[in-house]
Structure 1
Amino acid sequence: MRLLLLFIFFITPFLVKAGPGDSVYIDEVLLIGHKKTRPRVIFREMTFGRGQQIAREELSLEIDRSYNNLMNTGLFASVDIAYDTASAEMGSTVILVNMRESWYIYPVPEFELADRNFNVWWNEQERSLDRVNIGGKLTHYNVTGQRDRLKVGFTTGYTRSMEASYGFPYLNKAGSIGMSVGFSYQRRREQNYLTRNNRQEFYSDPNTFVYRRSSAQVSVSYRRKIYLSHSFGIGWQESQIADTIAELLNPEFYGDGRQSQRYFRISYDMSNDRRDIRNYPWKGTLLRAGISKDGLGIYGERDGLEVHADYQKFIPFWKHYSFNYALAGKYSLIRTQQPFLENRAIGFGSNGLIGYQFYVVDGLDMMIWRLGLRRELFKTKLDLGKLVFIDAFRYVPIRMAVSLQFNQGFANAPFVDDSNRLNNNLLTGFGAGLDVILYYDMVGGVQYNRNHLGEDGVYLNLNMSF
């Protein structure tokens, strides 16, 4: 079969008829190397297909976009898209897509820190092994060959948890509708109950669990083309805390000294992602926006309504440089005091600021803006040969860059006490780092950071796609 495909590819220049001088007709798109992934998944992520007429000057651009789209799926270790230039000059050509699939099954023994990040555990908690979780997680990124993801996991130790989720992105023939479901259950012996001096205060009891949470969610996505997607979700959550927290340490944890909270949640999110490499972009834009409503009046224990958005822009210039800027924010449309865990702003998830790794800033509203500059040092591919028996890991793409970053942010927090001096103030941080990118989407680095308080340090950063 492979010999037949190659034969068709090489004889095309002698069979095609002359076409319009300013465009190229795609006679065929031939796929090689996909053993698990179904062809419709591959074609769904490409910007062109069989029978399409493309302006000649745009053909290379469309190939680059299709390459990035396929690599961003995480399904492939490498992709090579080629065509015969001689036949293209005559007006039509055959596109050959040669790929090596990634390793899809990751049974990972889990050694997880109970703290927000590695630097907090290493410095503030003095590398205590009592603050780690041990367990296992199995993730399959391509169960049926249709980019459907299954995740199951459990954890024991400092925290005990169970989780399961499944997402199927191509429910209909056009591949525009997807669906995901998930469930999680968690029990902790220690719980953050208050923020003081912009540090998390914890209550622990080695003999019992002081926090329990169960949650379930279902979401439906719609992606008519490639870059723009919409997601609609509904979820349910129930949680309980120890009476010591509710009655003594922080009666406003849930509000009015309550020990439990239940609510339903609905949400809508939009994403227009045109970045070339999602874990370490060099070119392109990202726009995300959404709205979520916590509490639908069924239990009467939660009432929150939030809008959020972020925008990122990456601009390459000269040969090895890229400039980027970004804005991110959230606004609470219901202005009453929210439960403690739902009043997060700076320092959680992707809303971090350079130089403030050891701080958290709660608030109803938040705004962050960022500037960055990257300079690529080199890019190569390491062939491990017979040292690695799994083909997906045999060739290691390596990219190294230096980066400069400048961040500012502000969190509006009308209900915090005076001890949290970072709230309601402009925060400024900058950093310089060395970044290493492996396998296209695994990013690690070492970074020097400094904030407006005059505090500085060297920190590790890791962003692993699995």
Structure 2
Amino acid sequence: MLTTPVRTFLLISLLTSTFFQSFSQTNKDKKYLLTEIVVKGNEKTKKQVILRELTFKAGDSLQASAVDSLKILNENNIFNLSLFLEVYVDFQIQDSQKCFCQIEVKERFFTIPGFYAELADRTFNEWWFLHHHQLNRVDVGFLLTQKNCRGRNETLSAYVQAGYSHRLTAAYSIPGLNQKRNSGFELQFQYLANREFAYSIDSLNRLVYFRGDDYQRKRMKTSLFYYYRVSIYSTHQAELSYQFNRVTDTILSLNPDYLGNNRLKNSFLSLNYTFDLDHTDIHFYPEKGYVFQLNAGFSGLGISKYINQFNLSGTYSAFYSPMPKVLMAHQLRGFYCSEKNLSFLFSPSFGYEDILVRTFEYYLIKGRSGFLLKNDIKYSLLNETLSIRFLRWHKFNTIPIRLYPKVFFDAGYVSDQAVFREFSLNNKLLTGGGIGFDLVSYYDIVVRMEVGTNNLGEKHIFVHFRKAI
């Protein structure tokens, strides 16, 4: 069943077709002058925020044969702002030489307050299977996120957490500070205090935890980000940050290299640079296109007595469809660290978020350098939109659902010839594969369930709440 915005959009298109000719009815080689761009449905969002994402502007000359591809490309560009649930772009001919563009959007719900449950463990699987889903390992906090502040795609967020850990975070981002909307800033503050955390790994690369009555670790970090958006698809980001870390005497006795060099505390400045080139169709769950990201960071800036460490990493991901409904995705990631005598906290790792060989979720592998290769073959089994008639709030009364059964295969290698040389999973090729499915819905929700085995002979079931590639 068509949703209200879709019916409205189709009705407008039908009515305007009485007065304006469609591009499907004209010579494909003919060019038309784009006289106007009309935006509707942006109750809060400034028109300029939407226009910034377009690959065309009023006054351009458009060839009739390119209109269909322009519609799809620019609908995706606007949708990737993460401000809208639905986006429609349409072109209509006014006369033999002129045309206009109409854009209709359905805005998301921008104010998101509520209680938030966060696991004390790295992943849901670790909490459920290794720690037997103990409720005392769940931290409860209050999250307030105000997106699209002032209608300019600015975001204000604050989070207060109590429980196993205490956490306080606050951030404000302004992505379009200047008139061209290609420069922006973000300010972040984070404070974390833990009674229990992983202070080391054993020889089998499994995390080792310690729990005390008092806070065993305290961390604070303040960051200032600067963004320069070269084009719709490429962004430079610079981050200047200051952080402070402190552990107790107990943690120091258990792992003298947790902060490095037998220290109870450290503090230092860091400078990080990231280049992001994203040519995918839908950023939060791509089906076509490619992404390249390069990151370089210098902790200590050569002036710290605690740490002076250079890190370099790069990631390339490709997405394509070799045949109808069949989707393929590949990702290659590599990293390098300049420091030989790595501290536990600041050493690069396989095992957090999506940086891991799938089926090795229960391990943490640290080292100076390494690579990771991921591969997915998926089938688009379901692509539907559910309409909830009894719910009158239009921001929530339609639920898009996409379901992708898949097979996957990953491989990775972490090298270290000093601190982590003797650990069982270092300096060894790791492989894992299996089957599963991805469930994708609105507000960027992704749920993954995977069943797989690895070259250690282990078989596991995993549930994740983020995309794999």
TM-score in terms of structure 1 length: 0.92
Deviations 1:219-276 (A, max 9, x none): 1000132001000110000010011121x21111122211001110001100000111
Residues 56/126 of structure 1: CA separation in 2 closer, same or farther (3 Å cut): same
- 1:19 and 1:91 in contact (8 A); partners too: no
Q: CA, structure 1 residues 9+73, in 2 after alignment: closer, same or farther (shift >3 Å)?
A: farther
- Looking at structure 2, the residues matched to 10 and 424 of structure 1 have their Cα atoms a distance apart, in angstroms, of 69
Aligned: 1:237 with 2:243:
yes
Q: CA deviation at 1:374?
A: 1.1
- Residues 1:173 and 2:173 are matched in the alignment: no
Q: How does 1:189-204 map to 2 (within 5 A)?
A: 189-196=195-202, 197-204=204-211
Does residue 378 (structure 1) correspond to residue 386 (structure 2)? The answer is no
Change (3 A) 1:60 1:82: same
Work out the CA distance in 1 between the residues paired with 2:95 and 2:410: 49
Is the contact made by 1:109 and 1:137 (CA closer than 8 Å) also made in structure 2?
yes
CA distance in 2, matches of 1:403, 1:306: 34
What amino acid is aligned across from residue 45 of structure 1 in structure 2? E
SS of alignment partner, residue 52 of structure 2: helix
The one of 398, 418, 427 aligned to 1:415: 418
Cα displacement (A) at 1:404: 1.3
Q: In 2, distance between residues paired with 1:130 and 1:76? A: 37
- TM-score, normalised relative to structure 2: 0.92
Name structure 1 gaps, 5 residues minimum: none
Contact 2:28 2:63 (C-alpha < 8 Å) held by counterparts: no
Alignment counterpart, residue 76 of structure 1, candidates 62, 79, 84? 84
AA in 2 matched with 1:408: A
Cα separation, 2, equivalents of 1:431 and 1:180: 40
Corresponding residue pairs, total:
453
Q: Deviations over 1:359-405 (max 9, x none)?
A: 1111111200122211101211111122x242111111111111111
Q: 2:42 aligns with which of 34, 47, 51?
A: 34
- List runs of 5+ in structure 2 lacking aligned partners: 1-7
RMSD over aligned CA atoms reads: 2.2
Runs of 4+ in 1 over 4 A off after TM superposition: 5-10, 88-91
1:450, 1:89 → 2: CA distance? Answer: 63
Q: Match of 2:227?
A: 221
Secondary structure in 2 matching 1:423: coil
Q: What one-letter code is carried by the residue in structure 1 that aligns with 2:274? A: D
Shift of 1:93: 1.9
Residues 41 and 106, structure 2, Cα contact 8 Å, conserved in 1: yes
Residue 155 of structure 1 corresponds to 161
1:424: how far off? 0.9
Q: How far is 1:205 from its partner?
A: 0.4
Give the one of 379, 390, 404 matched to 2:393. 390
Match of residue 53 from structure 1: 61
Q: Which residue of 2 aligns with 1:352?
A: 356
Identity rate, percent: 26
Determine the structure 2 residue equivalent to 1:330.
Answer: 335
| Partner SS, residue 365 of structure 2 | coil
Residue 80 of structure 1 aligns with an amino acid whose one-letter code is: Y
Contact 2:342 2:419 in 1 (8 A): no
Aligned-residue offset at 1:147: 0.6
Q: Is 173-182 or 251-260 further displaced after alignment?
A: 251-260
Q: Give 3-state SS (helix, strand or coil) of 1:171's partner.
A: coil
Name the aligned partner's letter for residue 330 of structure 2.
Y
- Please tell me whether the aligned partners of residues 402 and 433 of structure 1 are also in contact (alpha carbons under 8 angstroms): yes
Specify whether residues 83 and 417 from structure 1 end up closer, same or farther in structure 2 by C-alpha distance, changes over 3 A only.
Answer: closer
2:210 maps to a residue whose letter is Y
Q: Structure 2 counterpart of 1:360, which letter?
A: L
